[in-house]
Amino acid sequence: MGKTIQKLLLSMTGSLRDLLPIILVVLFFQLFVLEQSLPNIGRLLTGFVFVILGLTFFIHGLEQGLFPIGESMAHALAKKGSVFWLVTFAFSLGFGTTVAEPALIAVAAEAANVAASGGMIESTEQAKFSYANGLRYTVAFSVGLAIVIGVIRILKGWPIQWIIIGGYLLVVVMTMFAPREIIGIAYDSGGVTTSTITVPLVTALGVGLASSIKGRNPMIDGFGLIAFASLTPIIFVMAYGMLI
Amino acid sequence: MDWISGILSEIASITFSTAKDVLPIAAIIFGFQFAVIRKKPANLGQISAGFIWVLIGLSLFLLGLEWALFPIGRLMAEQLTNPELIQGAEAGQQLINQIKWQDYYWVYIFAFCIGFSTTIAEPSLIAVAIKANDVSGGAIGVWGLRISVALGVAIGISLGCYRIVVGDPIHWYIILGYVIVVIQTPFAPKLIIPLAYDSGGVTTSTVTVPLVAALGLGLSETVPGRSPLIDGFGLIAFASLFPIMSVLAYAQLSEAKSKLLDKKIRVS
């Protein structure tokens, strides 16, 4: 118990040090550039305390729970030798973590609003809802696929750069044919998908898998899953934009 | 005591929605553990406790963002594009059409600062940097990686704001960025390449995304002649692309430095 508290305090000073730049930037702009006082200061300060506590607990939990289990599962599945189960696991991990991603839900809803006010879709609740949902499931499906491709790459030991460069070429070609309104959202969806939850889990899967297969270097083969997960949504969202 | 129960009910509702986000992942992990691997994980207690810590931490973190960081970010985005700040209070509205892109310099400075500071505080980046340091046997510094990613994001978001202000089509920027990455790749140490490609996606997670998206949409609404539909999105794409370049550059620099050191040791 005492050890846990000691660890928490240690990581709390870390969180404080990490947050300091944000507080300084905001204070500097408010006081010296905009020369205005902050409204609702009590609520803001409480919010900062929550951010610090949240960061502390989150990192502690990652080290206790997500990283060890992600690695041990990848080990176990790699040892089991069933490619089918590994690929199924990879797809459901990518799909499941993305479909629930809060940032994606927020951005998809925003994109639906913008599309409705620009006359791209009807301005009804239902049209917006189905547009936002279509966007979300397209992105989640493409992330699932990306993790599958990434896992197969680790198994086969393909070099990452050729796949990424090929993906880039596909993005460039598709940009020429996609409607102009979807391009910005499509490019953005690559960055939106990879959330606070997805990143550590997927990284743990990659590193664990690469270190349990003979002849694979976890440094070269373990990373790179996130890169696929940021690339495929661009391609699929542009395809979604061309279809509707 | 009304405000205490208000806080408590907000915490309860955000924990509930965070639990909904974490639940599918927990279901997948435990489902596979029991149905496919059919073995009880060795330290089940520790792992479950870890999940609870993650849940509490994420809930508090999101609540804190909603209470403190988002309102401030929104407020600043509105105030920085206000013509009165740019022209001085008297000139105000009538000069609004004569504003050039240089006059929005506070927007770019703010974008740079926000990009840098949010990335430095990003929990997923910290997690990946620790992992990368571990795996590379200390060759990749935790702080070196974090700072180069943060610089990449900062430059990316400022350039993205510039693009929204002048209204250039986004794809030329992105395609040029891809070309630079492709040229950098063969010259970078092989070890760092997948990590560099990953760092693009890592930076833009739950903390940065809504903040940056709001900044871009706000800018496209307030800058005359821009439409949110065509110009509003794209900042996150910039924030994902530039760290790839900066991490590749960081690796090239540290490799060159260690080669130089080797030479010096051999000479002496």
ipTM of the complex: 0.73
Q: Please name the member of A49, A191, A198 whose beta carbon is closest to the beta carbon of B239.
A: A191
- % chain A with pLDDT above 90: 9
Residues 6+ apart with CB under 8 A from A78: A86, A208, A209, A212, A213
Residues in chain A within 8 Å Cβ distance of B197: 160, 164, 223-224, 226-227
Q: pTM of the full predicted structure?
A: 0.75
* Residues A196/A185, Cβ–Cβ less than 8 Å: no
Size of interface A-B (CB pairs under 8 A): 346
Both tokens of A204, joined, read 């743990």
* CB-based contact, B210 to chain A, within 8 Å: yes
> What is the Cα–Cα distance from A105 to A88, expressed in whole angstroms?
24
Backbone phi, psi, residue B89, to 5°: -60, -40
Both tokens of A148, joined, read 């599958």
How many Cα neighbours within 13 Å face the side chain of A170? 15
Report CB contact under 8 Å: A25, B58: no
* Residues B177/B245, Cβ–Cβ less than 8 Å: yes
Ordered alpha helix ranges (H), B33-104: 44-64, 70-80, 83-87
Q: Please name the member of A55, A97, A181 whose beta carbon is closest to the beta carbon of B123.
A: A55
B contact residues 162-191, partner A, Cβ 8 Å cutoff: 169-171, 174-175, 178, 181-182, 185, 190-191
> What is the Cα–Cα distance from A219 to B46, expressed in whole angstroms?
27
> What is the Cα–Cα distance from A19 to B5, expressed in whole angstroms?
28
Both tokens of A114, joined, read 């913008």
The C-alpha angle with vertex A172 and arms to A171 and A178, in degrees rounded to 5, equals 75
Q: Please name the member of A54, A161, A199 whose beta carbon is closest to the beta carbon of B205.
A: A199
Q: B206: pLDDT confidence band, cut at 50, 70 and 90?
A: low
- Please list the pLDDT of chain A residue by residue as tens digits (244 residues): 677 788 788 778 767 766 676 677 778 887 877 777 667 788 888 888 887 888 788 778 877 876 677 667 777 776 776 788 888 888 888 887 787 676 777 778 778 888 887 777 777 778 888 888 888 889 989 999 998 998 888 888 888 888 888 888 999 899 988 888 888 889 888 887 766 667 777 777 777 777 777 777 776 676 778 888 888 999 999 998 888 7
